[in-house]
Structure 1
Amino acid sequence: MKIFFYTGPQCSLCDLADIELKNTSSFKALEVEKVNIRESTDLYHLYGARIPVLKREDNNKEIGWPFSREDLEEFLQ
């Protein structure tokens, strides 16, 4: 499954989200593409106040911070 990880430079919350994501049971089966929202005006307007955000490619569902490992496990099912 492909996941887009919307992030930004020097984002400490993004670092925490990355740790939670890497601790999920399904992490090894994921293709994670980190996307710096500062590289796109559209993405910055969509996610600037919300990062970190994870988005599934298959169904476009999103989960934004804060989330726990349990929230992520449910999101990735």
Structure 2
Amino acid sequence: MSQRALFFYTTLGCSLCEKAKPEIWPLLEKFDLRLQPVDIADDEELTRLFGWSIPVVGLGEVEDVLCWPFTTSELASWLSARLS
């Protein structure tokens, strides 16, 4: 079975996105996820939804996401609630 994706909504030159990655990395193996970057600049709807809040992580439903700022423990709680 292939790993489930943790979508990482970002765009080129996003400095906050770089700050978010160390919060995300420790949880990928724990939850058996792979990080799937999504450039919001490539999608008008994603730009409208997340243009002011990136980085944003989610499991595929754009209505259910976690926006920056978040800590590793906050992300772990968010993931646990959705993956358990």
The TM tier, using the shorter chain, reads 0.7 to 0.9
Identical-pair percentage: 32
The aligned residue for residue 6 of structure 1 is 9
Deviant stretches of 4+, over 6 Å: none
Separation (CA, whole Å) in 1 of partners of 2:11 and 2:60 = 19
Give me the TM-score of the superposition, normalised by structure 2.
0.79
Separation (CA, whole Å) in 2 of partners of 1:73 and 1:20 = 10
Deviations 1:9-61 (A, max 9, x none): 1111101111110023xx12102210000111111111100100001137x62
Higher percent of residues as helix = 2
Separation (CA, whole Å) in 1 of partners of 2:20 and 2:78 = 14
Higher RCO structure (Cα 8 Å, ≥6 apart): 1
Matching of residue 45 in structure 1 with residue 48 in structure 2: yes
The aligned residue for residue 78 of structure 2 is 75
Structure 1 portions without partners, runs of 5+: none
Separation (CA, whole Å) in 2 of partners of 1:57 and 1:46 = 14
RMSD (Å), alpha carbons: 1.5
How many residues of Structure 1 are paired with residues of Structure 2 in the alignment? 74
